[in-house]
Structure 1
Amino acid sequence: MKISNPILTFAVFCSLSLGACKKTATSQKTASAPPNIVIIYADDLGYGELGAYGATNLKTPNLDKLANGGIRFTNGYASSATCTPSRYALLTGIYPWRNQRAKILPGTAPLIIDTAQMTLPKLLKQEGYHTGIVGKWHLGLGNGNVDWNQYIAPGPNEVGFDQSYIMAATQDRVPTVYIKNGRVDNLDPTDPIEINYVENFEGEVTGKENPELLKMKPSHGHDNSIVNGISRIGYMKGGADAKWIDEDMADQFLAKAQTYIKSHKTEPFFLYYALQQPHVPRTPHPRFVGTSGMGPRGDVIVEADWCVGELINTLEEEGLLENTLIVFSSDNGPVVDDGYHDDSVEKLGDHKPAGPLRGGKYSLFEAGTRVPFITYWKGTIQPGVSNALVSQLDLLSSIAALTGSTERGRDSEDLLDTFLGKTKIGRKEVIIEATSRTAFRQGDWAMIPPYNGRRVNTQVNIELGNDTIYQLYNLKDDLEQQNNLAESRPEVLAKMISEYEAILLK
């Protein structure tokens, strides 16, 4: 376009210059803004459950999109083969076996995180972040003898979370209520809650004595108080208006997570979105019943995938996706029949929850702790696959480095460049844990010390990794851990034992 008027020319020049200045200022502001951080944590999701990790019978388009648009780690580990210890490690950057209380907890257990110690949310609060948790907690509440009808502390809010909307333990344990910032949500004070893990309350029905009231039958255990036609672990009385509806749980947690994002979109935030799926009892919303063809277990994985997709849509709609680091993983490996008759075994078909790995939840074999592990940051992380050895332990120190904090976790390594896809170098070694037993991963090698006890948990049909001799596997050549090289490679075994024991004594 030709402009002949000098005054008009000057005006256009000023306008363009001003626009360019504004655009530059905006770009600089965006570039320097601290990224939001969202950790999405599944419950009992195995290495082989996602299409991106080789699943063919289950459809997980949203998680596959996350994996294919970010870094998909093939050697990503939870710290433990059970839930509570892994969650402890994730938030503290400390190996769970260093804390004797970091075991699968009842719903009445006291908080196992010292309120004086550094945690991921506490670190981020120091760096100006708003912090929130939505979903499963399972790290204990209070100091013992909790009064569920009063403010419940210490809990998430005392270890760094500004906002919390949680269930205390697991979906199969009492109390079966949501807790919002330390108080039971929707509690009627005239109907107080009582909890007991030893004996039932007079007049209260149980799954063991009243099986005719159940819509989901227990296969082992899980036969105490009945809530919504499902018997639980532990006994509960009262709190009728506050009790959750299991089929609505995924929607409830998703809505709270979306509200949190929208409410804090003008400030840097950290959201720990702890899914309950596919932990038992598997109770998909009616929208998802039958969608997998694999029964409730498959259906709740499809449901979880949808929830992740909806959360990402919210970030995108709010203009936050390009300034948000998303981490997706699971607290431990898979289990099929874990306490209820829900057709999880009968309808499994050709699906392999652990993929090519041996073992599962509760196990020292690879499937116990090697889990899906994805980092995604639109426009910052270039898509790729990494074989680097990484642990959820490392998120604390790596996120600290991302925000400029000097804090570091005791056992957490700064692998920020690895998580961002700038390098494929990860840890040299990591100790994994399963029900107080530990094993060692170093390079391509996995070493399991001798342990007494049953070799197979027959209730869940999972090999535990116990043996009377040392086990040594080269995972590069033997991912399925079928060839024990302890006798043929004594020099490797001796070196690993020495370095493993040195870490245990630190």
Structure 2
Amino acid sequence: MAGVLLCITHSVSAASQQPNIVFLFSDDAGYADFGFQGSKTMQTPNLDQLANEGVRFTQGYVTDSTCGPSRAGIMTGRYQQKFGYEEINVPGYMSKNSAIDGAEMGIPLSEVTMGDYMKSLGYRTAFFGKWHLGGTDELHPTKRGFDEFYGFRGGDRSYWAYEVNDPERKSAMFYDKKLEQGMGQFAEHKGYLTDVLAEKANEFIEKAPDKPFFIFLSFNAVHTPMEATPEDLAQFPQLSGKRKEVAAMTLALDRASGAVMHKLKALGLEENTIVVFSNDNGGPTDKNASSNYPLAGTKSNFLEGGIRVPYLIKWPAKLSPGTTYDKAVSTLDLLPTFFHAGGGKKTLSALDGVDLIPYLTGKNNNDPHASMYWKKETRAAIRQGDWKLLRYPDRPAELYNLANDIGEQHDLAAEQPERVRKMFKDFFAWEMTLERPLWLLKRQYEVYDLDRMDKYRVPSKLEN
């Protein structure tokens, strides 16, 4: 699988039936911070309409609780630990400047990406926004299956253009924050970046709407820095501080998502376009005042608040509107879903995700995943059915039944020793299939161990 050029043949008539695919992807959003997730505070009319017109997953998961590893799983359809992408977020400037010997930190060139798969089916492919999957030119989006790129290589940046005399420009980390059109063509934008990314996506759609396209629209909203337009802030007079800022940033995210969906409708493309919305990990409640209620935990730990995310899919030509799907699914499933929907016939046995369409149309009534896994060094989790086991490096494991304890408040490990033993055994068997981590970042860089912070053990309900 690794490094193999995918050779797919398809007729012109078959290509004309290929659905367009738009993946709307937010960053660090809270599980509860959307109207379709129950929020009464956030204003997300466009994404709420997407939920009403498509399928909402009540148990959607990512493969890691931090940005980079989660994205690596999505981009390859494989557990990122299988190719050594296990550690925390990758700063591209470090790889570029050889701060860590021999490290080109990002998705290895041996891996086939979502862009590669869709391009092999004849799709025009584009990536807009936050990349965060490798900072060197060899790991650039335009070298990983995407025809066009407009965005930045690192994990965060300002939503406003950097002025010439901005002191941040003098930092080595500014390498990760530069906006690029293509590779190496740096040009600051005009306006608020969330809106600009949607404009770039719409320009790509307009270039050749008669040809199938795949867009990965990777917003940096609502990741820090906390920056919003005055107009958006004014829509939330009842809020203050970071909570007001994240509400305004979410409003902009929704507006930008709506702009792309409105473009599809205006061009008559809506019926046969797959639109997906999801998020990279749980909200970091202390940093951007996001809410993961009723889940315990946050970004960077394996409690539900760190790994369960909002998740929507709409495909009017195939899927019934206004439905919910209650079995556990993963963002690993997006790649095989897109590939098979686009006409791919190849069996993707090397992938860990599944094609979701048969499950959503009722052709397959089984659980999409018998087991789901999370791992970062010695911290780990496994889910089987409604049962979830958490492994820690410094204290006994915990066991929860998510069917009646979504907030993970009642540890049943002492009452279920045989189940704990079996789940440990199953996890060890999976763990033996993994590669060693390709890099281990030094501890002066941002590392979390929020599992141990008691305040994250209890769901915190903000103005919702």
| TM-score of Structure 1 vs Structure 2, range by shorter chain | 0.7 to 0.9
Residue type of the alignment partner of 1:317: A
Give 3-state SS (helix, strand or coil) of 1:184's partner.
coil
* Cα drift, residue 101 of structure 1: 4.1
Look up the match of 1:450: 392
CA distance in 2 between partners of 1:393 and 1:313 (Å): 27
Pairing 1:86–2:70 present: yes
CA distance in 2 between partners of 1:337 and 1:169 (Å): 22
1:266-345 aligned within 5 A: 266-292=210-236, 293=239, 294-338=243-287, 345=289
Matched-pair contact (CA < 8 Å) for 2:54–2:313: yes
CA distance 1:295–1:434, change in 2 (3 Å) = farther
CA distance 1:435–1:496, change in 2 (3 Å) = closer
Look up the match of 1:368: 306
Give 3-state SS (helix, strand or coil) of 1:492's partner.
helix
CA distance in 2 between partners of 1:376 and 1:442 (Å): 27
CA distance in 2 between partners of 1:404 and 1:259 (Å): 27
CA distance 1:407–1:55, change in 2 (3 Å) = same
* Cα drift, residue 434 of structure 1: 5.3
Residue type of the alignment partner of 1:87: R
TM-score (norm 1): 0.72
Look up the match of 2:441: none
Residue type of the alignment partner of 1:51: G
Look up the match of 1:355: 293
1:348-395: CA deviation from partner (whole Å, max 9, x where unpaired): xxxx71121110101110110100011111242102111111101111
Pairing 1:405–2:332 present: no
Give 3-state SS (helix, strand or coil) of 1:362's partner.
coil
Matched-pair contact (CA < 8 Å) for 2:107–2:139: no
Of 308, 333, 343 in structure 2, the residue corresponding to residue 394 of structure 1 is: 333
Q: Using the aligned pairs only, state the percent identity.
A: 31
Look up the match of 1:63: 47
TM-score (norm 2): 0.79
- If you compute each CA radius of gyration, which structure gives the higher value, 1 or 2? 1
Matched-pair contact (CA < 8 Å) for 2:380–2:392: no
Matched-pair contact (CA < 8 Å) for 2:85–2:107: no
Residue type of the alignment partner of 1:417: P
Residue type of the alignment partner of 1:73: F
Unaligned runs of 5+ in 1: 1-27, 143-151, 187-241, 339-343, 346-351, 453-467
CA distance 1:312–1:435, change in 2 (3 Å) = farther
Matched-pair contact (CA < 8 Å) for 1:55–1:355: no
CA distance in 1 between partners of 2:355 and 2:194 (Å): 33
Residue type of the alignment partner of 1:375: I
* Cα drift, residue 263 of structure 1: 1.1
Look up the match of 2:184: 183
CA distance in 2 between partners of 1:57 and 1:427 (Å): 34
Pairing 1:169–2:108 present: no
The count of residues paired between Structure 1 and Structure 2 equals 387
Look up the match of 2:124: 130
RMSD after superposition: 2.2
CA distance in 2 between partners of 1:422 and 1:374 (Å): 19
1:103-114 aligned within 5 A: 103-108=88-93, 109=95, 110=104, 112-114=106-108
1:70-90: CA deviation from partner (whole Å, max 9, x where unpaired): 110011101110000011011
1:237-248 aligned within 5 A: 242=188, 248=192
Residue type of the alignment partner of 2:227: T
* Cα drift, residue 49 of structure 1: 1.0
CA distance 1:487–1:410, change in 2 (3 Å) = same
Of 305, 309, 318 in structure 2, the residue corresponding to residue 380 of structure 1 is: 318
CA distance 1:412–1:115, change in 2 (3 Å) = same
Matched-pair contact (CA < 8 Å) for 1:107–1:174: no
CA distance in 1 between partners of 2:397 and 2:65 (Å): 19
Look up the match of 1:36: 20
Residue type of the alignment partner of 1:318: L
Residue type of the alignment partner of 1:97: Q
CA distance in 1 between partners of 2:148 and 2:357 (Å): 26
CA distance in 2 between partners of 1:116 and 1:80 (Å): 21
CA distance 1:436–1:287, change in 2 (3 Å) = farther
CA distance in 2 between partners of 1:435 and 1:315 (Å): 43
Of 431, 455, 460 in structure 2, the residue corresponding to residue 504 of structure 1 is: 431
Residue type of the alignment partner of 1:469: P
Unaligned runs of 5+ in 2: 1-11, 96-103, 158-172, 434-464
Give 3-state SS (helix, strand or coil) of 2:399's partner.
strand
Look up the match of 1:461: none
